[in-house]
Structure formats: C-alpha cells, structure tokens
Amino acid sequence: MKIGATLIPLVGWGLDTEDVEGARQLHLEAVRRLVDQWGFQAVELNGDFSILYPGIFDGAYYERVAEVQQELGFACTVHLPFLWLDGLSLAEPIRRASVECVLRVVEWTRPLLVDSYVLHLWGIWSSLLLSVQEMPPKERGLLFEKMLLGAKLTLGEVRTSLASHKLCVENLEHFPFEEITDLVEGQGLRVCLDVGHLTVSGGDALGFLETHWEMIGEIHLHDALPGDSRGPGVRDHLPLGSGCVDYARFLDRLEEGGYDGVVILEVNTESDLLDSLKQVRPWL
C-alpha cells in the first residue's frame, strides 16, 4: 500500500496564466514537498489543469514531472479531467468532447510511470437526472438505458489509449455504482473506491471493499458525513478524524488483505492535509 495526496491543497485552482514558468514551478515544488518534506509515497496529478490551462500543463510540463519522478521514486496516478465534462451525456457533442479531453491528458502524461488513471465516467447532470425523485420508473429506465450506451462508447474509446487494468472508474454521489458494476467488470476495468463519496451516499466502505476487492485499483480517502446528517456545509473531502469514516479500521483491512495499490488523501487545504497525514502516519 502506497499512501499519497493530490497537489490541490498546496496549489489551489487559480493561477496567473501570464506566468507560465511560475505556474509550472509551483506545481513541481508541490510534488517535491509532498514526497521529500512530508514523506508521501505517491502523488496524484489532476488532469483538469491541462484542460483549463493547456498552454501551461502540456506535454512539456509532464516531461519535467517525469524527471522529478525518476529522481524521487514516487508512485504516480492521474485523475483524468472531469470538470464540466460528462462521459454519459445524452448530448453527443458533449460526450465526444469529454472523451477528447481525457485522451489529450492520457497522451500528455505518457512520459510518466502511471500506476492508475482515475475516471469520473459521468458528470453532475447525469447524476442529477437520475436522482430526480418524482421521475416515473419507466422514464428513468429509458434514459438510463441510453446513458449506458454512451458509457460503453466512452469506455471503449478511452480504452484505445490505455491498458484496461490501469483505468479506474470512480464511484460518485447520487449514482449507485452497482448500476454500472457489470459494465466496468465486463470490460476488464478497475474501480477507484472513493470512501468519502460512498459515505455521503450512505454506503459502507468496508462492505464495498469486500464485495469489489479484486476490482479495486485505487482508493481515495477523506472523511465525510452521511447525507442524512443535519447542518449546512461540506459533507466530504474533510480531514480524517472530523467525520464518521473509520479510517483506521479501513486501512488495517487494506494492510491485512495485502492491498498493494495507491491510497490518495483527497482534501482541499494544506491544514486539512497535515491533519490527515498525522492520522495515517502509522501506515506510511
């Protein structure tokens, strides 16, 4: 088991597009801080930066990341772009554009040794469409059938550029993963188990682990509160120890089962990352 983190807590999302070298250096230094300063064994790169800022985080940038990876020896995963994208979109131009964005990032990251690529197969509108409570079951079934056809196309097109065992479809809120389990398994793909997303949806992380153990290729770990918890605010991407996720029991189970993949701490601020790092030190 290799424990890592994303760059988001250290770099945020905004940057000065006029300072190309400064933006690249900020991200490269964040990689070094995670590995050299804090002792993480893995780093997850976010492909959305390449779609939002293609003139900065292009193939040349990833070549530099590859040099740092060779120097420091960390495991690397890539979260494929998902912001404003939707691989199940009923609007075919949107679905095709989503695939094109994903394939661009796959191509640019080829200089790296990548353990796994994480894919948000569906976007927010697909999730919302299927979570409308008053939708008649027959109508939902017809829409879902059409969305599944789009999902098959999307996965098939992405798989032309990736080995199947490296492509990990992530579970998301408001969309029962069981509805696409057969599709993912049938194509020889893997699963990215996001513990926080599952918790928000009222799922059981340990139960999911036992059911899908052989399919799990990567794990996202962050604390969360189930959807029926009272009070405003964020429900997931919380620092470990601030929600209801029994992360110690979960990590112990991974260790006992000989899980040899990557576990990525997915929080949004530096302080949250440091708090979470303290919790997982015994497993590093």
The predicted-structure confidence for 37-95, as pLDDT tens digits, reads as follows 999 999 999 999 999 999 999 999 999 999 999 999 999 999 999 999 999 999 999 99
Q: Is the distance from CB of 177 to CB of 130 less than 8 angstroms?
A: no
- In tens, the pLDDT along 188-243 reads 999 999 999 999 888 899 999 999 999 999 999 999 988 655 555 568 999 999 99
DSSP reduced 3-state for 156: helix
Q: pLDDT digits over 17-40, tens only?
A: 999 999 999 999 999 999 999 999
Whole-angstrom distance, CA of residue 68 vs CA of residue 249: 34
- Count of helix runs (H) and strand runs (E) in the chain: 12, 8
57 near 25, Cβ under 8 Å?
Answer: no
pTM: 0.94
Q: Which of 77, 73, 63 is nearest to 24 (CA)?
A: 63
CA distance 144 to 150: 10
Cβ neighbors of 133 (< 8 A, separation 6 or more) are: none
Integer CA distances (angstroms), 168 to 3, 22, 69, 123, 189, in order: 17, 32, 21, 16, 6
> Are the C-beta atoms of 5 and 34 separated by less than 8 Å?
yes
- For 279, the token pair is 């919790």
Alpha-carbon gap, residue 193 to 219, rounded angstroms: 5
Residue-range domains of the chain with CATH: 2-283 (3.20.20.150)
